Structure 1
Amino acid sequence: MRALITFFVELCLLRRPPQDLPASKVLLGLTLVSDLVVGLLVGVTAGLPWLTSLLQGVAEILLMMTALYVALTQLKLRARFLQSATALLGSGALLGLVAIPPLSLNPTGSQERDLAALGAFMLLGLVIWGILVTGHILKHTFTITLGQGTAIALAFQIVAVTLVTSLFSSL
């Protein structure tokens, strides 16, 4: 377990490629559950109801996994799906855990505004870092440049956030 955590830390530091992961359905399932649980914690920490948070997490994961599977199938690279999906889910879970402390820096009251601003600034940095990590994974998955992978990651993030928030805004 420690080796897996170390791998995901190194992946998020852009030191390891996703192909260094074993192509394992069990590992994919483990990272899927981890990402869902962490996403639920992040949503609740951000003030969302737990059901809304869970549904948003499921929708985002379905969207990401479907887009990845379709793209890999179209490019005849479907054999890379397990490792790429595991890398995306595992890195998402790790970055989500790191996001919980800044999310909790949103106290109310006039004196704590600086603390809330610090939390927001840290979250912005994490969002940018997450897009870069996804770009790194896509770079290795599709054999493209880091810039291309990051551009795809940014575009996907914009579409995913827009779609998921509009789907669940009434809950």
Structure 2
Amino acid sequence: MQALIRFFVELCALRRPPQDLPASDALLAMTLVADLFVGVLVGITAGLSSLASLMQGLAEILIMLTALYAALTQLRMRHRFTQSATALLGSGALLGLLAILPLSMNPTGSQQTDLAALGAFLLLALVIWGIVVTGHILRHTFGITLGQGSAIAIAFEIVTVTIVTFMFGGA
């Protein structure tokens, strides 16, 4: 377990590629559950109900995995799905855990305090780093540059937020 956590830390530090993960359906399932669990914790910390957090987390994961599968299938690289999906889910869970602290500083609350401003800054830094990590994973998955992978990550994030907001409102 420690080796797996260390791998995801190194992946998020851009020192390991997703293809270093074993292509394991069990590992994919484990990271899916971890990412969903962390997503619910993040949602609750941000002030959502546990049900709303769960539904949004499920929608985000479904959108991400569907888009990844479709792109890999279209490019005849479907054999990379398990490792890429595991890397995206595992890094998402790790970065989500890190986001709990800045979210607990109430960065989106009505009162503007120095602590809330620090929380907002840290949260912004994590969002940017998450885009870079996703770009890193996509770079190795599709054989593109980090800039191209990051651009895809930004576009995907915009589309996902738009879809989830449409489905669940501003909650």
Using the size of structure 1 for normalisation, the TM-score is 0.96
Structure 1 unpaired stretches of 5+: none
Once residues 151 and 55 of structure 2 are traced to their aligned partners in structure 1, the CA distance between those partners, rounded to angstroms, is 26
Q: Could you say what secondary structure the match of 1:15 adopts? A: coil
| Distance of 2:44 and 2:87 partners within structure 1 | 24
Please name the residue that 2:31 is paired with. 31
- The C-alpha deviation readout for 1:105-154, integer Å capped at 9, x for no partner, is 118786x7110010001000000000000000000000000000000000
1:170 is displaced (CA, Å) by 6.9
The corresponding residue for 1:98 is 98
Where does structure 1 differ by over 4 angstroms across 4 or more consecutive aligned residues?
107-110
Amino acid at match of 2:41: L
Change beyond 3 A, Cα 1:114–1:142: same
Determine the C-alpha separation between the residues in 2 that align with 1:166 and 1:86: 27
2: distance between equivalents of 1:64 and 1:70?
10
Distance 2:20 2:30 in 1: 17
2:26 and 2:95 mapped to 1: Cα distance? Answer: 21
Distance, in Å, in 1 between the alignment partners of 2:23 and 2:7 is: 14
Structure 2 counterparts to residues 113-128 of structure 1, below 5 A: 113-128=113-128
Q: Report sequence identity in percent.
A: 73
Partner of 1:164: 164
2:9 aligns to what? 9
Specify every segment of 5 or more residues in structure 2 that has no aligned partner in the other structure, as ranges: none
Q: Which moved more, 1:124-133 or 1:160-169?
A: 160-169
Letter of the 1:49 counterpart: S
Separation in 1 of the partners of 2:81 and 2:36? 19
What amino acid sits opposite 2:165 in the alignment?
A: T
| Separation in 1, partners of 2:159, 2:165 | 10
Distance 1:109 1:129 in 2: 26
Flag the 1:113–1:3 CA change in 2: closer, same or farther, 3 A: same
Higher deviation after alignment, 99-108 or 66-75? 99-108
Instruction: Give the Cα separation in 1 of the matches to 2:91 and 2:140.
Output: 14
